[in-house]
Amino acid sequence: MQTTSAILIDGLVYASWIFLVSVGLTLIFGVLRILNLAHGSLYAIGAYMGAWLVVRFFQPGMPLWLSIVLLLFGALLVGAVMGPLVERLLLRRTYGRDEVLQLLVTYALFLILGDLTKLIWGVNPYYAYLPYSLMGNVTIGKIPYPRYDGVLIVAAIVVGLGLWAIVNRTRFGKFMVAVIRDREISTTLGINVPLVCTAAFTIGTTLAAIGGALTAPTISVVPGIDVTVIVLSFAVVVIGGLGSLEGAALGSIIVGLARASAVHLFPDLDLVAIYLVMAVVLIFKPQGLFGRVEAKRI
């Protein structure tokens, strides 16, 4: 019983974390048709920026919400600078080329950003644990859980609902859906497709950075966190269906629960469990749970 509730809670926390990152990845793929391997690097940059700001400016005794504000500020800064920069300078040159070639361009970007992060912040770990430890624990069924994990869950819910509202309730959201459905027709209808692409990429990048920044207090921020997160978010978006927001949500929950179960029941197999789930989903639904079947060109 205790294990079950622990799996559920851990799974939810884990799902919230991976959702923040993978929803950005799937949004970018939906609009730009580019699977961004450098998404994990932007997550890492967000984590470094957030951790650095907290270590530098936050002291015990200050109100706790200030640390969260610092983290979010760092993430927004990263998204607002890196998003337009990468999209305008680099990705724009590859539109309309082979999907695989675009994948390789983002792989090159991943390599560049990895070293850039090391040059800026060094290779020593950053510990921004203060917000995490100051919030303390809450006990559910005799097991203490850190309260900070609640921040991740709330952030994931806010992001999910916010994106849903943007896509379904705003003019810009309608433009985005139009571009996702058909670029060419959107252009003929007078939608500024390049601008929608820049905006969508920036939103996706910001989400990755938020994911990184909010995670920073719970981990030691070291080189290499970019790889872990990108490999997992790929599993999420492949399970959910590339380009689908609902898919990212469901995929995150599936991956979160799979990993939490594996961690509690077979601790050595967490990554294997996630990929097993992915393989099973792909055998039955090759396009992912919410993916669209695309017509092939003859």
Q: Which residues bind other proteins (CB under 8 A)?
A: 35, 90, 93-94, 99-101, 103-105, 107-112, 114-116, 118-119, 227, 231, 234-235, 238, 242, 268-272, 275, 278-279, 282-283, 286, 296-298
CB pairs under 8 A, 24+ apart, for 58-63? Answer: 58/128, 58/130, 58/131, 60/130, 60/134
Give whichever of 116 and 161 is closer to other proteins, judged by the CB atom.
116
Q: Which residues of 70-98 are buried (b: 16+ CB within 10 A; e: fewer)?
A: bbbebbbbbbeebbeebbeeebeebeeee
Shortest Å distance, C-beta 78 to other proteins: 18
Give whichever of 142 and 296 is closer to other proteins, judged by the CB atom.
296
Chain centre distance of CA 172? 21
Give whichever of 69 and 112 is closer to other proteins, judged by the CB atom.
112
Shortest Å distance, C-beta 224 to other proteins: 10
CB neighbourhood size of 150 (10 A): 14
Instruction: Say how far apart CA 21 and CA 1 lie, in whole Å.
Output: 31
Shortest Å distance, C-beta 231 to other proteins: 6
Give whichever of 94 and 187 is closer to other proteins, judged by the CB atom.
94
Instruction: Say how far apart CA 289 and CA 284 lie, in whole Å.
Output: 9
Shortest Å distance, C-beta 92 to other proteins: 12
State in Å, rounded, how far the first CA of the chain is from the last one.
55
Give whichever of 1 and 100 is closer to other proteins, judged by the CB atom.
100
Give whichever of 38 and 245 is closer to other proteins, judged by the CB atom.
38
Shortest Å distance, C-beta 86 to other proteins: 12
- Which tokens sit at 195? 């601008």
Calculate the alpha carbon distances from 17 to 46, 142, 173, 216 in Å: 14, 24, 24, 11
Shortest Å distance, C-beta 23 to other proteins: 17
